[in-house]
Amino acid sequence: MADVLVLAAHPHLASSRVNRALTLAATALGERHVETRDLYELYPDYLIDIDAEQAALSRARLVVWQHPIHWYSMPALMKLWVDEVLAFGWAYGPGGTALKGKDLWLAASTGGPEDSYRPQSYNRYFFDAFLPPYEQTAMLCGMRFVPPLLLHGAHRVSDADLARHAEIYTSRLLSYPHWPELVELDAAQPCDVPAEARPDDD
């Protein structure tokens, strides 16, 4: 029974180097160890099967979001997945405990090189500055946000470096939950949303 779920999202996987390599590597590990769901392949019409996605989440202990960073965030379908699958009363809010105690790991790539994420450079912020939405999403669902695996400068990375990166990725997927950093990671802070906190439309 696989307890690692990889959610891969790249709108043009065929023209991607990094994410194609990672998706292929994750898929090659086999369903028994890692369940890989390529969101753009599953939902070309953006019609996400919420029940199927929630079922896959329920089976997993580690949830991996593997995607390129687009506009300092996730690709559109990944965001839609978050909007629809992490539903109120299921993933968070009253009775929303389905994901509690699971781990969320981000495996992202950026086009810009690491030194572009500097106050002096064109991206103006350290990359960490873009992570709080991820971290808090995990936290609200009672998940631990494990420090992400990043690959910067994806367009210019050499074949050897890419192979090394994929190797790290798969070995991590296979060795979960025996990761050294997990020992020091605290359980997620409880973020209880009171029932009356739901905003009112009218």
Residue numbers at the binding site for other proteins (CB under 8 A):
45, 47, 49-50, 80, 82-84, 86-88, 91-92, 137, 140, 193, 197-202
Residues 104, 199: Cα–Cα separation, whole Å:
27
Of the candidates 72, 96, 99, the one whose C-alpha atom is nearest the C-alpha of residue 7 is 99
Q: What is the nearest approach in angstroms of other proteins to the Cβ of residue 74? A: 14
User: With respect to other proteins, which residue has the nearer C-beta, 181 or 196?
Assistant: 196
One-character DSSP codes across 112-125:
S-GGGSSTTSTT-S
User: With respect to other proteins, which residue has the nearer C-beta, 68 or 96?
Assistant: 96
Helix (H), strand (E) at residue 184: helix 180-184
Residues 110, 122: Cα–Cα separation, whole Å:
14
- Helix or strand or coil: residue 28? helix
Q: What is the nearest approach in angstroms of other proteins to the Cβ of residue 145? A: 16
Q: What is the nearest approach in angstroms of other proteins to the Cβ of residue 49? A: 8
User: With respect to other proteins, which residue has the nearer C-beta, 15 or 158?
Assistant: 15
Helix (H), strand (E) at residue 5: strand 4-8
User: With respect to other proteins, which residue has the nearer C-beta, 50 or 149?
Assistant: 50
Q: What is the nearest approach in angstroms of other proteins to the Cβ of residue 54? A: 10
